[in-house]
Structure 1
Amino acid sequence: MMVRVALRRMAFILSMVWVAAAPARAEWREASSPNFLVYADQSEGDIREFTDMLERYRSAMRYIYKLPEEATSPSNRLTVFVVRDANQVRKLMGTNNRYVLGFYQSRAGGSVAFVPRVDDNSQSDRVSQGEQILLHEYAHHFMFSVFAGSPPLWLQEGFAEFYSTAKFDSAGGVGLGLPADHRAAELALAQEVPLDMLLSTRKYRENASKRYDAFYGRSWLLFHYLTFSEARAGQMADYLQRINAGEGEEAAATQAFGDLGVLDKELGAYMKRRRLTYLNLGASKIASAPIAIRMLGKGEAAILPVMMRSKRGVNEETATEVLADAQKVAAQYPDDAFVLSALAEAEFDAGNDEAAIAAADKAIAKNPQAVGAMIQKIYALFRKAGDDDALWPKVRAAISAANRIENDNPIPLAYFFRSYAAEGKKPPEMAVQGLRKALQLAPYDTGNRLTLADYFIRTGDKQAAETTLAPLLNHPHDTQLAELARKLLDRGSAQAEPSSADDSSS
């Protein structure tokens, strides 16, 4: 159902202050649902509402794109840490940038997000800025399930902006594609991005101003307009088909949209409308999801701040600091499998493979289902095997043990393939299929994508390599990654071309 709402005029918010009374004692809870794992120092009602919002958001997007419901392996769920405020988010990220209100990191078997808690309900059913950042990044994550090939940069950001402005009503419905109020000032005041530059990733990256420009706002505007314009119905689908067929971005835009000058004038008029359409999906279209909530034990609550820093990622200096904190908590709770799993990760990050294996083994002994500890054991054994080939059978035994507990966890599947490559052996077909499955389970994982593409190039399957690397060629946030993907393809092309000596031989 499409609904029209007023396009509110609002001032650009330069920063946000989160005011909350500090609780007398932290009461961390875990909310576990089919697709998300949420940790928050909030009431049961608040953490349930937040987790339900995420499940409804995922269900709504799958409904729009007619994707069937598929089970997510427990370890491949998105883990969300709801922290005290935006300052704590920035501290975890390692930045003083006051515009940072949340962030997201995607990887197979361990995607994580950090957002500030929301205690003010004045926004009603519209999401907070921190939540909106999470929804934006999750939309990028989701896009791998929808679009093949390498969508142009504007489409990637327009898609994410369009779906990030969601609302969730108390009856269970979801609204998608609401006006991007947070881009209003950008569209009005920021440096203009001409439409021909917007529609060409190459032109934009070569000519983008060092000043803050209206790229995100214009990308949202174009995506919104093409989604709802009756006069241009079908043009977005035609454009995507042309892109996927190999037409250049500029040619595809001209063929699908016609005169870009006309389209630009239409966008200008569309931006001035007082009312815009959005998608309103009733509760009957949204799949409900069970949510189990539990209070964390004392040991789990004590190690959680350490675990957050580990999941965020550490460097040589911070790894030592995190390990020291992990060891202190582990000394207090030596029999807690949750704590021991976190300790194993901290030991591995600090370069202590033997200690990581010992902590992982203790965790597994306490909880034979501790997949997280099994993964840390795989990592540590894998690194040790780099200096001792006799350890590769132990690496594969650890991989098999984890796979038996959770056979659709992408990490053991990927590391089974990598174990052969690291040992200098040709991976068996079963290992290749395992890596393919890992990428299917976590299509946003760039490491597995590059590994599989490299295998295809080495075995002479250039077409499979191109298909595998296509989503990276216009990566929205990492131009170096896009360049690496192009270099891999160029290497494959060079290998496929016969040399001059080959040309002259009989």
Structure 2
Amino acid sequence: MLQCALRYLLLGLIACCIPTIASAEWREASSPNFLVYGDQSESQIRDFTDMLERYRSAMRFIYKLPEEATSPSNRLTVFVVRDEGQVRKLLGNGSRFVSGFYQSRAGGSVAFVPRVGDNSRSDRVSDGERILLHEYAHHFMFSVFSGSPPLWMAEGFAEFYASAKFEKGGAVGLGLPADHRAAELVLAQEVPLDMLLSTRKYRENASKRYDAFYGRSWLLFHYLTFSDNRPGQMADYLRRIDAGQGEEAAAANAFGDLAVLDKELGSYMKQRRMTYLRLGPERIQSAEINIRTLSKGKAAILPVVMRSRRGVNEEQAKIVVEEARKIAASYPEEAFVQTALAEAEYDAGDNDAAIAAADRALARDPQAINAAIQKIYAQFSMADDDGKDGQWPKVRQAIAAANAIENDNPIPLMYFFRTFAREGKTPPDMAVHGLERALVLAPYDTALRLNLGQHQIKQGELEAAQMTLRPLLNHPHDSELAEFARKLLDGKGELAPDYEVKNAEADVSP
């Protein structure tokens, strides 16, 4: 009886993690590079999505990147929830100071942020908007940089670009003073420069109190970007990191005496005026945005979608799928609802139910790509490694069907390669090229990078494997992942043929 009571208590606590949606009208804003869900007015969600598109365009201009079409499933999905409390419930453990977070994975990168404000009052972004800009800056950085930057640089980059303004005439300002970090820089626990510049030292010695890491990271990035005293030093530092010098050695060689740099930072922080980047409207590309109000079924199932996209463990999956089944029973004709049920069933381990729900969704909407993806997951999970059950042709048929719906979705490409790995067969060139293409589409996906790197090692393509795995070797967030990548290159590691990271690590913003 006691065990039963404890189980129901546990399940009740897990259920609290499923966000609730009030009776407000939820809307979806769809643009070339973003898919935004929020219970705000049409003008608010349109302005918000337009801001994101202008932000992306401005950063691409700065880094001289040509405009390229984003496949629909590779867009960043943004869930705008009620408040920071809802964000923290979704994140779970370690969320005390978190105001928003971002997870990157092929075909399913998501961000969760609190409700945004009214842009009519100022051209500077609100707190909620800045959180999302911070998270999208991570998404952008992982997409365009080949290496794995130190932790301070990843956060300094995101803080630099998140301090933005959007003028009424279409101009965009980036790299403005991070006013929201002013009190932190003065009052929070100090982070010495040598510790800031070493992810290892910071991880080992960081105070349990809220510290000035984000503020100091922004200050250093801003100073190295605009300082006339240190031209080219940040680029030199990154080159040294990529060459494998290590964070501490790269900093010493690129910046010289850190005490001198620290003194310069102190003076820079006290300046009354700072430079920023202003891009006129002629340099910003506009984008078409389509707004629609969600149906009752979609609005009802959206909390399940959010929880599934965040990622669930075994116990949480049981709760989420029960909620999904109740809602799906009321809306059997809605493809979006049945797709959400398919994902919840797969997470809960019921592959047959997942396939059935996916088939119902595809019968109502043949272009329901996420339903086709859930069918791949379930059928791949059911197949025997030796192929004696005859399932692999069915898996590849599901993969081909999903690829026909969306040719540049990375998931069918990566799973086509994995079918051969699971069977113990050498993947044909077509499968290898598909995996390479998937990594181009989703360079931030860890599982993709490890799969391709291991294949290249097995083929004796060590130089190519070094290039593929290099972004992981100095990974600032996951030392175990970095060590595993090194073991692969040294011939001392082996990746499971069906390796994937479904519940990606979240990047958070305090």
What is the Cα deviation at residue 449 of structure 1? 1.1
Aligned 1:204-243 pairs, distance under 5 A:
204-243=202-241
Q: Take 1:427 and 1:144, find their aligned partners in 2: how far apart are those partners? A: 28
What is the Cα deviation at residue 69 of structure 1? 0.6
Aligned equivalent of 1:13? none
Distance verdict in 2 for CA 1:209–1:86, change over 3 Å:
closer
Aligned equivalent of 2:499? none
Aligned equivalent of 2:504? none
Q: Do the aligned residues in 1 keep the contact of 2:439 with 2:445 (CA within 8 Å)?
A: yes
Deviation larger for 225-234 or 95-104: 95-104
Distance verdict in 2 for CA 1:286–1:445, change over 3 Å:
same
Aligned equivalent of 1:288? 286
Deviation larger for 110-119 or 459-468: 459-468
Distance verdict in 2 for CA 1:404–1:384, change over 3 Å:
same
Superposition CA RMSD, Å: 2.3
Give, as a single letter, the amino acid of the residue that structure 2 aligns with 1:86: E
What is the Cα deviation at residue 388 of structure 1? 7.2
Deviation larger for 43-52 or 111-120: 111-120
Aligned with residue 192 of structure 2, among 185, 191, 194: 194
Q: Do the aligned residues in 2 keep the contact of 1:302 with 1:329 (CA within 8 Å)?
A: yes
Distance verdict in 2 for CA 1:209–1:462, change over 3 Å:
farther
What is the Cα deviation at residue 362 of structure 1? 1.3
Aligned equivalent of 2:322? 324
Question: Alpha-carbon deviations, 1:127-163, whole Å to 9, x = none?
Answer: 2333322222221221133322232332222111211
Question: Alpha-carbon deviations, 1:384-422, whole Å to 9, x = none?
Answer: 003672100110111011111111000000000111111
Q: Take 2:110 and 2:308, find their aligned partners in 1: how far apart are those partners? A: 11
TM-score by length of 2: 0.87
Aligned 1:32-431 pairs, distance under 5 A:
32-95=30-93, 97-119=95-117, 124-386=122-384, 389=387, 390-431=390-431
Q: Secondary structure at the match of 1:275?
A: coil
Q: Take 2:440 and 2:218, find their aligned partners in 1: how far apart are those partners? A: 28
Any unmatched runs of 5+ in structure 1? 1-21, 495-506
Deviation larger for 36-45 or 210-219: 210-219
Give, as a single letter, the amino acid of the residue that structure 2 aligns with 1:350: A
TM-score by length of 1: 0.88
Question: Alpha-carbon deviations, 1:97-123, whole Å to 9, x = none?
Answer: 442222111110011111111345586
Deviation larger for 476-485 or 51-60: 476-485
Q: Take 2:222 and 2:186, find their aligned partners in 1: how far apart are those partners? A: 17
Give, as a single letter, the amino acid of the residue that structure 1 aligns with 2:459: T
Aligned equivalent of 2:6? none
Give, as a single letter, the amino acid of the residue that structure 1 aligns with 2:281: A
Q: Secondary structure at the match of 1:144?
A: helix
Q: Take 1:429 and 1:437, find their aligned partners in 2: how far apart are those partners? A: 12
Distance verdict in 2 for CA 1:183–1:119, change over 3 Å:
closer
Distance verdict in 2 for CA 1:91–1:282, change over 3 Å:
same
Question: Alpha-carbon deviations, 1:290-331, whole Å to 9, x = none?
Answer: 001111122222211221111111121221221111111221
Displacement over 6 Å in runs of 4+: none
Aligned equivalent of 1:448? 448
Identity score, percent:
75
Give, as a single letter, the amino acid of the residue that structure 2 aligns with 1:467: M
Question: Alpha-carbon deviations, 1:19-74, whole Å to 9, x = none?
Answer: xxx99842111110000001111111011011111111111110110001110000
Q: Take 1:351 and 1:493, find their aligned partners in 2: how far apart are those partners? A: 28
Q: Take 2:90 and 2:46, find their aligned partners in 1: how far apart are those partners? A: 24
Aligned residue pairs: how many? 473
Q: Take 2:193 and 2:356, find their aligned partners in 1: how far apart are those partners? A: 58
Distance verdict in 2 for CA 1:320–1:200, change over 3 Å:
closer
Q: Take 2:75 and 2:21, find their aligned partners in 1: how far apart are those partners? A: 29
What is the Cα deviation at residue 478 of structure 1? 2.6
Q: Take 1:75 and 1:97, find their aligned partners in 2: how far apart are those partners? A: 28
Q: Take 2:187 and 2:224, find their aligned partners in 1: how far apart are those partners? A: 23
Q: Do the aligned residues in 2 keep the contact of 1:303 with 1:339 (CA within 8 Å)?
A: yes
Distance verdict in 2 for CA 1:342–1:145, change over 3 Å:
closer
Distance verdict in 2 for CA 1:490–1:211, change over 3 Å:
farther
Aligned equivalent of 1:3? none
Aligned equivalent of 2:10? none
Aligned equivalent of 1:504? none
Q: Secondary structure at the match of 1:179?
A: coil
Q: Do the aligned residues in 2 keep the contact of 1:357 with 1:376 (CA within 8 Å)?
A: yes
1:27 aligns with 2:45: no
Give, as a single letter, the amino acid of the residue that structure 2 aligns with 1:435: L
Give, as a single letter, the amino acid of the residue that structure 1 aligns with 2:490: D
1:472 aligns with 2:472: yes
Distance verdict in 2 for CA 1:248–1:476, change over 3 Å:
closer
What is the Cα deviation at residue 210 of structure 1? 4.5
Q: Secondary structure at the match of 1:433?
A: helix
Give, as a single letter, the amino acid of the residue that structure 2 aligns with 1:187: L
Give, as a single letter, the amino acid of the residue that structure 1 aligns with 2:269: M
Q: Secondary structure at the match of 1:149?
A: coil
Deviation larger for 206-215 or 267-276: 206-215
What is the Cα deviation at residue 345 of structure 1? 0.8
Aligned equivalent of 1:490? 490
Q: Do the aligned residues in 2 keep the contact of 1:161 with 1:180 (CA within 8 Å)?
A: yes
Q: Secondary structure at the match of 2:419?
A: helix
